[in-house]
Every structure is written in structure tokens, then in C-alpha cells.
Structure 1
Amino acid sequence: MDKERVSQVMLLVSSHLPQRDLCALLCVNTACRGVLLSHASLWKAINLQGKSQAGRRLLAALSLARYQDVEEINLEFGQDVQDEHLAAVKCKVWKFSCKLQRLNLNACQKITDAGVEAVVSECRSITKLEIYWNLKVTDAAVKSIVTNLKELELLNLSGCKSITDQSMRHLAEHSPSIRSLNLTRCVKLTDEGLCEILNVCLQLEELYLYALSGFTPKSLALIGNLEELKVLELTGAQELSSNCLVSISKCHKLESLCLSWCVRITDAGLKALTCPLKLLSLHGILGVTDEGLDALACYCSKTLHTLDVNGCINIKRRSREELLQRFPRLECFQVHS
């Protein structure tokens, strides 16, 4: 087999390997190393998910020439990632910041506003940023994110419990074209903040409001403004009424709707849902009956593949066989355990 074909086969195989195995191949021999390093597409991502000393490893990786075109860095649950590492990224070794598009800082709980600000002020090409489960990040970090990242498409603030309505105002002002926003368990948010988003960020395709029971129909009804919305997570929205679902039904592109434990929903709300849903969770709702589910089947029988009606004791015909009669394409019967 000629060298060119060997190179092609190696590239094909290597493109499916995890980063750890890819790095191990570099040590096989000089020829193998040369082939791998000649393909920049293999070195677009740095994955340190769950790794020990992830901060130190990040700096070591970024000092290598093969990562000059890195587009994605994943530090999710990485241990010992601190502000000093992100500051060093900015000041010392970040030679190629303009190409970074996705940064995952999920559960890096030692990072504060200072670390976030250091990265986003230098790496302004980032379009997707995740900071899940960080109690130290505040409105100051969000302001820095949205003022520096002009092309921001996705922002995950799930579990950032220090975030307030001020962050929503910053988002509405600077990132009106954002497409995915996760505010799960941002418990300081109020109707005022959510209204800021729903009146301005009209390109949203994904909105996650899990475990935010404080929102009322004043803000929830405005979700109907989002004509591009495809995924909506409202688990635990205790004030969500059937009238709100009438408004949400205006989101004609909606494919995934999670209403688990939205205790005020009744059949009237289900009858209003005319979008071709693929996923729907009604887990734990007592106000829905067979009548509402039958009405839903008129619009979703050919599209719905996931339906959770566990705990809906007033839906009497809810065995798998009976649900499949209404929705023959069902494959999954549980969203929440």
C-alpha cells in the first residue's frame, strides 16, 4: 500500500478516535506522528472533561503547535480549573484565540467572574458558552460575555443561582439573536427579567426554564412571541396555566415541550396545542384526561415519538398499548423518573 493511501486510511480511522487514543498514536513512530500532525482537522478540539489538574493540562495543550486551530475546549467537571488558568490562557499562551468557537466550563466551580471575563475579552469568536452549576458567576460575568461575544448563539447558565434580572437586561440589549438559552434553577429571576428576553430575543430556538416556579402568566404567556422556538422546557412551572398554552401554541415550529409537574394544566391547554410535537411530557399532571389526549392526537399522532404521562391518574387509557393506538410512532414513554 502506498504512503498516500496509508495516510488516507489513518486519517479516516483517526477521525473517529477519542482524543486520548489520538495522542497515544503520536508515540507509535515518526511516520505515524507526521501523518497525524499534518491533518489540522484532527486537532480542532481539546477535551479535558472530568480530568484531574485540567487547568494545568489546558495550558500545556495550548502551548503545542498542533492546537493552533482549536475551535472547541471542553473543561466540563474538570478538576482544579481556576481563574489563574484562564488568565494565563489570555496573557501567555493564547495565540490562536480568534478561532475558538465553543467553550464548556460546566461545573468548574472555582471559576469566578474574573476568569470568565479574562477569556471572553480575548476570545471573541466564541459562539457557544456553557457555565452550568457555578455559584460564583454573577451578573458582571454575563455583562462581559454578551458585550464581548457579538456572535453568541448558545448560553448555558443552568444552576448559576447568583444571576438576576440584570443579566436578562444585558442579554436583551447585546444578544438579541441568541438561539439557545438555559436558565434552569436561576432562582433569582422574576417575571421582569423573563419579559426582557421574550420581548427582544425573538430568534430563540431553545429555552430551558426548568425548576423556576416563580414565573407567572404575565411572562409565561409571552413565550408565544418566539416563532422560531423548537425546544421548550417548563418543568415545575407551577403558575403555567392552560391560557398560557394557548399563547405557546403560536410557536408553530415547537417540537419538544416538557410540562412535567405544571399542575395547573388542564385538557383546555392540550386542546390548544396544534404544533406537530415530537416530545411531550405531562408527568404528574392531574388536570389532564383522556379527552385532552384524544384532542392532542389529532395533531401529533404522526409525529410524537416520546410521551410521558406517568402520574397522570386521570388519563385512564394510558397503558403502552393504548397510547400506541393514539400515537403509533411512540418509542419512549418516560422523560422524568
Structure 2
Amino acid sequence: MFEMETHISGLFPEILAMIFSYLDVRDKGRVAQVCAAWRDASYHKSVWRGVEAKLHLRRANPSLFPSLHTRGIRKVQILSLRRSLSYVIQGMPNIESLNLCGCFNLTDNGLGHAFVQDIPSLRVLNLSLCKPITDSSLGRIAQYLKNLEVLELGGLSNITNTGLLLIAWGLHKLKSLNLRSCRHVSDVGIGHLAGMTRSAAEGSLSLEQLTLQDCQKLTDLSLKHVSKGLAKLKVLNLSFCGGISDAGMIHLSNMTHLWSLNLRSCDNISDTGIMHLAMGSLQLSGLDVSFCDKIGDQSLAYIAQGLYQLKSLSLCSCHISDDGINRMVRQMHKLKTLNIGQCVRITDKGLELISDHLTQLTGIDLYGCTKITKRGLERITQLPCLKVLNLGLWQMTESEKVR
């Protein structure tokens, strides 16, 4: 919690503004709650005019928003919504980013009263964990927020395929969509997004980032839809999607714009799936297959053959050994981050291979690697670019490495 002597309230506003200018955004929000003088100094016009700043509010005070508008503030995060959301929208006609994450009392009715006309300036909307929100709200969003580029819906368990149809119908400029733990979303909904039902909706074909983490109803058919309709996709998160398998990797293997793929805890992905990815035309920069217990040394050979451009690779708790490390490291010259925590078959020999060949590494995770010793760690710490070494609940920073 930010603390400051209250006697400085009597200082000239310009001096207060100068002092508060050194605070980060969150602390400015806290300072603004102390008194009117601090609020005005914290968001002094000379400092904030025309600047895109986030404001963290614990309650929506209707008298505050017109003042924020005149100061040029366009991005707002509301931590607790005690007034109607319409106060925010009415008071900030040029709002660009609205973060309502965790506002548990926000309902379809409240959102419906707020979105009653076009809001062309709004680009980012975060409704994550606003549990009561349903497809009805997505209809409002699709109707009035046509220029939306980022939509966060993580944890909204009442969203269904119908809601995705509404998104595909109205949000053609959408670039990032988060559907984490939307348990009712299935292949049909992903088909809507990918434009597979053009008679009803064109689709959100401009998507570059799609998070489908923990969407348990998805199967390989969703990946087929994604590969056919979402050609611009760059980041795809499928972690904890137990319904996808190796066969689905065939569909993803030729998505030439895809550079980050997260398959963490996808239980049905094995060495065969990695083979499919490596044999395609992917140019992946990041790959996470941590906790896929069917991934072994053969996957590392496939990665070295077809995914050697990777800069980040996560293999935590996979069944890999020093032999797999040996088959991979000579080709992975661009690798900067390697996570092999809880890979209990890795020994000092594996660390020696890593230190000899992966000279660009800036970070490595060795948490839970029980067969490594001080000798192996000494070799790793000699890597010229290493900044972070994770051995557990603490990290060895570059300064500590020197010591």
C-alpha cells in the first residue's frame, strides 16, 4: 500500500504533480483516493493531457469520469463496480480500453444499459471472471463495438457456441480472443469464428491470438477449422485441452503465420504429434509441451529436424533424457529459453551438452531435476548470456551468478 506524509497536501499543485509523476499507474490510482487535491495532482493536466493511462478504480464514482475525459485518459480498469456501468461509458465518450475483470456483480442487464449505441473508439474489453455474463451480452458487444480488437472472456462459463456466432457476425476487426475455461464452447463455435458457417456469419478472420485453454469440448475438428479459416493466427493456446490429439497437429502443421503454440497438459499429444508439426511448414518461435507425458526423446529429434528455429521450448515433466538432449542441441542455435523442470532423467551430462551447444540461452528451468549436481550447475552458469537459472522457488539472477 502506498504511504505518504499527509502534510505534503499543502504543497503547490505543480510540486505535488511532479512528485506523483514518479509513481506507477497503480499507485497513482491509490493516491487519487486520498483527497481531491491529491487526485488533481496525481492526474495533473500538464502531465496527463493526451496520454493513454490506465486508471485503477475501486468504485465507479460518476462525478470522476468527465474529469478523466478532459485529462485525456482513455484506458480504465474498474476493480469494483458499485454504480451502473453506463456512468463510465457516458462520462468517457472516447474510451479505448475498458477492463472489468473480476467485477462479479456485472450482469447482462447492466452491460445492456451501458452499450446502447455505437462506441467506435473502444478497442479493448476485458470481461474475464464476470461470471453472470451470457451470450446476450455478446450480442450487445457485437452490435455496438464493431471496432473491438481485443476481447477477454476467460472464465465465463455461461458463454456458448451461440455467443461465438454473434462474435463472428459482428466483430470482424477482432485480433485477440480469450475463451479460457468457457466450458460450453465446442467445435461448432470454433467453426463460427473461422467462417465455416458463412450463411450466418462471416467469421472473425483477422484473429491473430486465440486462447482456448481448458475448453474441454474441443476436438481435432476445431483445429481443422482453425487451419482453414484463421490463416492470420500467430498465437494459439490449447493448454489443458484433453480432447485434441496427434491427428490435430496435421492441421496446424502448415499454418505459416503461427509462431507460438501452447500444448501444455494436452494428454493425447505424443511424439507422433511433434513429428507432424516438424514435417510441416511451421516457423514456430515458441512451443510448450510441458506435462505431456507421452513426449519423449524422439520428439527432441523431430524438433531438431523441423523446428530448429525455436527460441523458447518448454518440456517440463516430459519423459526426456540426456540422449534426447544430445539429439537436439546441435541444431538449436536460436534457443534462448529452455524449461526442463521435473525432467528427472536429466543428469550432469545433459547440462554439459546444453552448456556446450546452446550458447544463446538466457534462461533455463531446472526445478525438480533431481539427478543434477553442483558440477552440472557450474557448467550451466558459465553460459555467456544466462540471466535466469530456476532451481526451485528461487531464481539465480545474473548478479548472483557472478558471485
TM-score norm. by structure 2 comes to: 0.67
Counterpart in the other structure of 2:402: 328
* One-letter code aligned to 1:99: K
Residue number in structure 2 paired with 1:309: 391
Alpha-carbon distance in structure 1 between the residues aligned to 2:218 and 2:123: 28
Report the counterpart of residue 11 of structure 2 in structure 1.
none
Query: Which residue number in structure 2 is paired with residue 176 of structure 1?
Result: 256
**Does the aligned pair in 2 maintain the 1:47–1:74 contact within 8 Å?**
yes
Tell me which residue corresponds to 1:185.
Answer: 265
- The answer to whether structure 1 residue 46 and structure 2 residue 125 are counterparts is yes
Name the amino acid aligned to 2:334: K
SS class of match (2:194):
helix
CA–CA distance in 2 between the matches of 1:21 and 1:40? 25
Q: Which runs of 4+ in 1 moved over 4 A?
A: 4-7, 9-13, 19-26, 32-41, 323-326
Moved more, 142-151 or 243-252: 243-252
Match of 1:14 in 2: 73
Amino acid at match of 2:379: A
Q: Does 1:83 align with 2:161?
A: yes
The answer to whether the Cα contact below 8 Å between 1:113 and 1:138 also exists between their aligned partners in 2 is: yes
How far does the alpha carbon of each residue in 1:247-287 deviate from its partner, in whole angstroms, 9 at most, with x for none? 13532232221111111211121112233323211112122
State percent identity of aligned pairs. Answer: 25
CA distance in structure 2 between the aligned counterparts of 1:320 and 1:233, rounded to whole angstroms:
17
Aligned partners of 1:29, 1:58: CA distance in 2, in Å? 17
C-alpha displacement of 1:171: 0.7
CA distance in 1, matches of 2:281, 2:246: 15
Amino acid at match of 1:47: N
- Specify which structure has the higher proportion of helix: 1
Is contact 1:202–1:227 with CA below 8 Å preserved after alignment? no
SS at match of 1:142: helix
Q: Is the radius of gyration larger for structure 1 or structure 2?
A: 2
**Structure 1 CA distance for aligned equivalents of residues 150 and 236 of structure 2:** 15
Partner of 1:127: 208
SS at match of 2:177: strand
> In the TM superposition, what whole-angstrom CA distance separates every residue of 1:111-156 from its partner, at most 9, and x where no partner exists?
1111111122111111111110122100111100111011111111
SS in 1 for 2:50: helix
Q: Distance in 2 between matches of 1:201 and 1:241?
A: 28
- Of 344, 350, 370, which aligns to 1:269? 350
Distance 1:189 1:39, change over 3 A: closer
Letter of the structure 1 residue corresponding to residue 133 of structure 2:
A
Residue 15 of structure 1, CA deviation: 3.1
AA matched with 1:144: H
CA distance in 2, matches of 1:35, 1:170: 41
Residue 333 of structure 1: aligned partner: none
Alignment of structure 1 residues 1-337 onto 2, 5 Å: 8=50, 10=68, 14-18=73-77, 27=87, 32-36=91-95, 40-41=120-121, 43-55=122-134, 56-64=136-144, 67-90=145-168, 94-95=169-170, 97-121=171-195, 122-173=203-254, 175-224=255-304, 225-245=306-326, 247-248=328-329, 250-273=331-354, 274-300=358-384, 302-305=385-388, 307-310=389-392, 327-328=401-402
Q: CA contact under 8 A between 2:157 and 2:183: conserved in structure 1?
A: no
User: Partners of 1:89 and 1:158 in 2: how far apart?
Assistant: 23
Change (3 A) 1:15 1:235: same
CA distance in 1, matches of 2:164, 2:183: 13
Q: Distance in 1 between matches of 2:311 and 2:273?
A: 21
Alpha-carbon distance in 2 for matches of 1:120, 1:20 = 33
Q: Which moved more, 1:119-128 or 1:199-208?
A: 199-208
Contact 1:26 1:36 in 2 (8 A): no
The runs of 5 or more residues in structure 1 that have no matched partner are: 312-318, 330-337
Distance of aligned partners of 1:201 and 1:298 in 2 relative to their CA distance in 1, 3 Å threshold: farther
1:84-117 superposed Cα distances (whole Å, 9 cap, x missing partner): 2222334xxx33x331111111100111111111
Give 3-state SS (helix, strand or coil) of 1:17's partner.
strand
Q: Distance in 2 between matches of 1:252 and 1:13?
A: 46
Give the alignment's TM-score, normalised by structure 1: 0.80
Contact 1:112 1:136 in 2 (8 A): yes
Q: Could you tell me how far 1:246 is from its partner in structure 2?
A: 5.1
In structure 2, distance between residues paired with 1:132 and 1:221: 27
**Aligned partner letter, 1:308:** N
Q: Which amino acid aligns with 2:87?
A: C
Provide closer, same or farther for how the CA distance between residues 36 and 260 of structure 1 changes in structure 2, counting only shifts above 3 A: closer
Equivalent residue of 1:146, what SS? helix
Superposition RMSD on alpha carbons, in Å? Answer: 3.3
